[in-house]
């Protein structure tokens, strides 16, 4: 038991000694490690200081670069904003101008729509539609022919009143122009949707035109008073085109009744032809007067030549008289000189002075 205790004690002592040795060896290594750590920390501190300086320098450079770039970006942004502002101002100015133009155009469209509505109201009334055709006819005639070549609302011998009377010489004589506007039947013709409606409206339109043609031929063609033909004025080119495209039988019927259907365009051409005819007639009427005036002018020229000849003779006689006066004046001067010589000369006062001898001038004058 004592041996066992001794062994245990020795073993514990050995363990303690080993632990002390190990502890001292660990402290030495720890001291080395601490020294190494201190050196590494010092090196790390130096490197961190260097890195801090480098970072501060880099940061300063970066700040300078950023400031330069920010200045450049600010300048670009400012220039861009100024340019954009100027462009925006210009765009807004153009927009205002265009809006003003649009407003003016809208006002014109409004006025035009009102006029169209007014025209529709006029055309919807038969009497007002007739007045519209007469006004258009009056404007065309008044703008082309002289006032003496036409008469509006002329009353004929049969008591009928014509819209316009064109005063042409015989032949052909005065021509009547009457305005007609078959708008209802034409609109119905355009509104026809099927063949049956088309046939029916075509018949109505054709009948209306024939009725107007017959009325004009019966009222405004008077033998011995008017020309053998008359004009029916359609104040619509569309109606005229439809008539001459799809209703040639109606046009042929108007020819047979000597009623010529005209539109604003064809009436204008007709009026220009009439103006040329009237001008030619006027020139022919004035030809006799012109010839008489030319003969009188020749007589005046003959009298003027005779009077010029007389004046020339008077001038010749005046020249001759002046020459004779000069001769007489010279002789008077010579006689005066002789008288002066006698008064100043020496000699007996009782001496006789021979009178001067008078030399007769041509024509018995001295």
- Same domain for 93 and 210? no
Task: Give strand ranges (E) for the chain.
Answer: 150-155, 161-166, 175-179, 230-233, 259-262
- Would residue 166 count as lying in a domain? yes
- Same domain for 107 and 168? no
Query: What's the chain's average pLDDT?
Result: 78
Which whole number is the average pLDDT over 202-229? 90
Residue 260 in this model has a pLDDT that exceeds 80: yes
Which whole number is the average pLDDT over 222-248? 89
Spatial neighbors of 251 by CB under 8 A, at least 6 apart, are 243, 244, 261
Which whole number is the average pLDDT over 308-321? 83
d(CA 246, CA 37): 119
Q: How many CA atoms lie within 13 A of 89 on its CB side?
A: 5
- Same domain for 134 and 282? yes
265 or 70: whose pLDDT is higher?
265
* Domain end call among 93, 124, 155: 124
- Would residue 41 count as lying in a domain? no
Residue 126 in this model has a pLDDT that exceeds 70: no
d(CA 17, CA 12): 9
- Would residue 331 count as lying in a domain? no
- Would residue 316 count as lying in a domain? no
Locus of tokens 């063609």: 221
Q: What stretch of H or E contains 158? A: none
- Same domain for 194 and 235? yes
**Residues 182 and 144 sit within 8 Å (Cβ to Cβ):** no
pLDDT band at residue 280 using 50, 70 and 90 as cut-offs: confident
pLDDT band at residue 22 using 50, 70 and 90 as cut-offs: low
- Same domain for 104 and 213? no
| Closest to 231 measured CA to CA, from 269, 258, 268, 256 | 258
d(CA 195, CA 245): 18
- Same domain for 106 and 137? no
Instruction: Calculate the alpha carbon distances from 80 to 7, 14, 77, 330 in Å.
Output: 99, 90, 5, 111
Pairing of strands 259-262, 230-233: parallel
* Domain end call among 254, 286, 318: 286
- Same domain for 227 and 252? yes
- The helix/strand/coil state of 335 is helix
What total number of domains does the chain contain? 2
Which whole number is the average pLDDT over 337-364? 54
Global pTM?
0.46
- Would residue 118 count as lying in a domain? yes
The reported pLDDT for the residue numbered 4 is 67
The reported pLDDT for the residue numbered 58 is 78
Which whole number is the average pLDDT over 66-83? 80
d(CA 101, CA 108): 10
Positive or negative torsion for Cα 235, 239, 241, 245: negative
Residue 200, burial from CB neighbour count under 10 angstroms (0-12, 13-18, 19+): middle
pLDDT per residue as tens digits for the range 49-59: 777 777 778 77
**Residues 229 and 259 sit within 8 Å (Cβ to Cβ):** yes
Q: Which of 132-136, 170-174, 303-307, 329-333 has the lowest mean pLDDT?
A: 132-136
Task: Tally the residues of the chain.
Answer: 366
The reported pLDDT for the residue numbered 14 is 73
- Same domain for 195 and 159? yes
pLDDT band at residue 96 using 50, 70 and 90 as cut-offs: confident
- Would residue 352 count as lying in a domain? no
What are the beta bridge partners of residue 177? 164, 231
- Same domain for 153 and 280? yes
- Would residue 278 count as lying in a domain? yes
d(CA 284, CA 332): 72
- Same domain for 95 and 201? no
Among the ranges 102-106, 213-217, 310-314, which has the highest mean pLDDT value? 213-217
pLDDT band at residue 28 using 50, 70 and 90 as cut-offs: low
- The helix/strand/coil state of 340 is helix
- Same domain for 116 and 132? no
CA 319 from centroid of its chain's CA atoms? 71
**Residues 236 and 273 sit within 8 Å (Cβ to Cβ):** no
Rounded to 10 degrees, what is the CA torsion of 201, 204, 206, 209?
-130
- Same domain for 180 and 241? yes
The parent domain of residue 96 ranges over 81-124
Q: What is the CATH number of the domain that holds 213?
A: 3.40.1350
* Domain end call among 222, 257, 286: 286
Lay out the sheet containing 161-166: strands in order across: 150-155, 161-166, 175-179, 230-233, 259-262
d(CA 123, CA 306): 75
> Above pLDDT 90, what percent of the chain?
8
Instruction: Calculate the alpha carbon distances from 184 to 209, 213, 283, 350 in Å.
Output: 12, 17, 46, 137
- Would residue 20 count as lying in a domain? no
| Closest to 228 measured CA to CA, from 261, 273, 259, 195 | 259
d(CA 257, CA 229): 8
Locus of tokens 């008288």: 339
Residue 345 in this model has a pLDDT that exceeds 60: no
């Amino acid at each position: 038991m004592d041996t066992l205790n001794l062994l245990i004690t020795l073993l514990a002592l050995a363990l303690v000694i080993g632990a002390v040795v190990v502890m001292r060896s660990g402290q030495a290594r720890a001291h080395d490690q601490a020294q190494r750590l201190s050196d590494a920390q010092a090196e790390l501190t130096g490197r961190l200081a260097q890195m801090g300086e480098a970072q501060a320098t880099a940061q300063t450079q970066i700040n300078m670069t950023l400031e330069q770039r920010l200045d450049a970006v600010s300048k670009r942004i400012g220039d861009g904003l100024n340019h954009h502002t100027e462009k925006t101002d210009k765009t807004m100015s153009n927009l205002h101008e265009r809006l003003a133009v649009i407003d003016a155009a809208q006002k014109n469209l409004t006025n035009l729509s009102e006029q169209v509505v007014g025209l529709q109201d006029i055309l919807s009334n038969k009497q007002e539609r007739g007045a519209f055709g007469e006004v258009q006819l009056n404007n065309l005639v008044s703008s082309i022919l002289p006032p003496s070549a036409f008469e509006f609302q002329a009353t004929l011998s049969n008591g009928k009143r014509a819209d316009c009377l064109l005063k042409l010489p015989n032949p052909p004589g005065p021509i009547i122009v009457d305005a007609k506007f078959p708008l209802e039947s034409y609109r119905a013709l355009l509104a026809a949707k099927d063949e049956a409606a088309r046939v029916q409206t075509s018949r109505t339109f054709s009948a209306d035109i024939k009725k107007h043609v017959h009325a004009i031929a019966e009222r405004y063609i008077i033998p011995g008073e008017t020309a053998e033909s008359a004009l029916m004025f359609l104040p619509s080119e569309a109606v005229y085109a439809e008539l001459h495209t799809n209703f040639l039988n109606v046009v042929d019927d108007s020819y047979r009744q000597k009623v010529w259907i005209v539109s604003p365009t064809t009436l204008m051409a007709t009026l220009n032809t009439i103006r040329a005819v009237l001008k030619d007639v006027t020139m022919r009427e004035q030809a006799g007067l012109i010839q008489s005036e030319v003969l009188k002018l020749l007589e005046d020229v003959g009298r003027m030549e005779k009077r010029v000849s007389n004046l020339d003779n008077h001038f010749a006689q005046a020249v001759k008289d002046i020459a004779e006066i000069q001769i007489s004046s010279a002789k008077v001067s010579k006689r005066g000189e002789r008288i002066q010589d006698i008064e100043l000369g020496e000699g007996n006062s009782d001496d006789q002075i021979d009178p001067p001898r008078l030399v007769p001038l041509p024509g018995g004058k001295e």
